[in-house]
A and B are shown apart, each in its own frame.
Chain A
Amino acid sequence: MIVTKNLKKVFGNNWVLNGIDETINKGEKVVVIGPSGSGKSTFLRCLNLLEEPTEGEIWFEGKKINDKNVDINKIRQKMGMVFQQFNLFPHLTVLENITLAPTKLGIMTKDQADDKAIELLNRIGLKEKALSYPNQLSGGQKQRIAIIRALAMNPDVMLFDEPTSALDPEMVGEVLELMEALAQEGMTMVVVTHEMRFAKRVATRVMFMDEGKIVEQNTPEAFFDNPQHPRLKEFLSKIL
């Protein structure tokens, strides 16, 4: 579904990504972990071209997307993204947050989008918050709404950029629960996170990045129980 070929990204003199060749198949739940500055967020943000790669190719559903002739807005409609800082639109109500993109892009009528939004809100138990503004919500509620905002576009893949890192510890659970439910429904997911329990439970594949490269990847069992690369061993010993 997503293929990267020799993906490289440079900020100034700093090679954040050092040639990544990777394939993510439909239905996979890929969890990316690694120390800060290892390029994992940049890798994720390159997948929907929030960062323009310096070199290399990105293919999505059989199309090379870092190409001048590709309408990236069309591609992004199929790639939902969830941010560390939620990035809800503070001047819009929860309902408007969810329905803005589908209606503005002409994918749904206002009524259809409203129905879809209410259905999604119902699912996360926040229907009564539809007319609230984001600042009236807790962090966990904001992030769950950010997730369903992306879901309202019916994406083929969801990208999560450290979705629980800005949350109070007691709110992490509700967000992970929703993500887990999504995974069980078969959503293709790429998740950058520090939540190792989530990686163990949900991932079909765990990747370890360091210095702009994918150093090691495996099924979660083998990855955590039998790490090979010394850098990964050191990393795991520090956080587990």
Chain B
Amino acid sequence: MQKESRPLYLVALIFSKEVMKGEKILYLSGSWFNWANDLYKSFYNALIPNQRYMSYINGLKITLLISFFAVIIGILIGILVAVLKVASVNYKMRWLSNICNIYVNVIRGTPLMVQLLIIYNLIFTSRNTNEIVVGAVCFGINSGAYVAEIIRAGIESVDKGQMEAGRSLGLSYVQTMRKIILPQAIKNILPALGNEFITLIKETSVASVIAVTELTKAAQYIGSRTWKILPPLIIAALCYLVLVMGLSKLLSLFERRLAKGDRN
């Protein structure tokens, strides 16, 4: 009974003004209290006044928008390049796989930020470009190269006999690819693909260099207003963390559903 009530008793001590004046241990508690209060205030300032939370929400929206379209563009490019690469070996079209290789090597061999700046300054030079579209296209093109390699590895991980069985039944190359090879490949590539998308979401923070006010940039703006950069950055970090954890959860659910054909 006594032991249980002890923490409550301590809290009561800390918060009661009369005791705060006196002893040393309570003085320490008081400084802890001040520190917590400061912390609370700085987060409050980073979040509430002037509806600053709307800045995060808007930034988050743009981050999600860029990520979403970049993922879609990335998957489309990735599947196309991967299938072309695999098929070009089959149909003996060296030039096609060479083009694909150049694309993959250039994208993988240069930093994302440099690609972003080049595409922004070189290709989209007109005054009224929509930075969000530029960002989505650029991240999509970038992601496509990585996704292509992931999917190619996935396709090649499917037993060769599957393609032969499909073709021997009279299905065309494309039909076999779509109905037999890709569904099996997806199961193998999903973990790596999920990784790629998680990376992609976080990398969109680089979009701030082309003046897109996504989550990170929004946090920086607020930091410059409140003269305290750390709290908004931590808030932004938490947003990314929640986003990524949500995505991981979603992916693992998806993986489990796809595993239904596995052993028993």
Q: Which residues of A contact B (CB under 8 A)?
A: 48, 50, 73-74, 76-77, 79-81, 83, 85, 87-92, 100-101, 104-105, 133-136, 146, 149-150, 153
CA distance A87 to B171 in the complex (A): 15
Residues of B within 8 A of A104 (CB): 171, 175, 179
- From B161, B172, B183, contact of A83 by CB (8 A): B161
Partner of A133, one of B165, B170, B183, B261: B261
Q: Do residues A91 and B170 form an inter-chain contact, with CB atoms below 8 A?
A: no
| Interface of A: prevailing SS | mixed
Known: A90-B261, A104-B179. A150 touches B169 (CB 8 A): yes
B183 neighbours in A (Cβ, 8 Å)? 91
Contact, CB under 8 Å: A76 / B167 = yes
A100 / chain B contacts, CB cutoff of 8 Å: 169, 171, 179-180
Instruction: A220 to B159: give the CA distance in the assembly, Å.
Output: 36
* Contact B168–A79 (Cβ < 8 Å): yes
Q: Are A87 and B169 in contact (CB under 8 A)?
A: no
- Known contacts A87-B162, A87-B164: does B171 contact A73 (CB below 8 Å)? yes
Inside 8 A of A77's CB, which chain B residues have their CB?
Answer: 169-170
Q: Which chain A positions have C-beta within 8 A of B187?
A: 91
Given A83-B164, A91-B187, A104-B175: A76 and B261 interface contact (C-beta under 8 Å): no
In terms of DSSP, what is the predominant structure of the interface of chain B?
helix
* B24 sits at the interface (CB 8 A): no
Q: Which of A80, A92, A149 contacts B261 (CB 8 A)?
A: A92
Whether the Cβ atoms of A90 and B184 lie closer than 8 Å is yes
Q: Which residue of A lies closest to B180 (CB)?
A: A89
15 example contacts (A-B, Cβ-Cβ < 8 A) are as follows A50-B164, A50-B167, A76-B170, A83-B168, A88-B165, A89-B180, A91-B180, A91-B261, A104-B175, A104-B179, A105-B171, A133-B260, A135-B264, A149-B169, A150-B169
- B18 partner residues in chain A, CB cutoff 8 A: none
Whether B263 is near chain A, meaning CB under 8 Å from some CB there, is yes
Q: Which B-chain residue is minimally distant from A48 (CB atoms)?
A: B168
Decide if B264 touches A105 in the complex (CB within 8 Å).
Answer: no
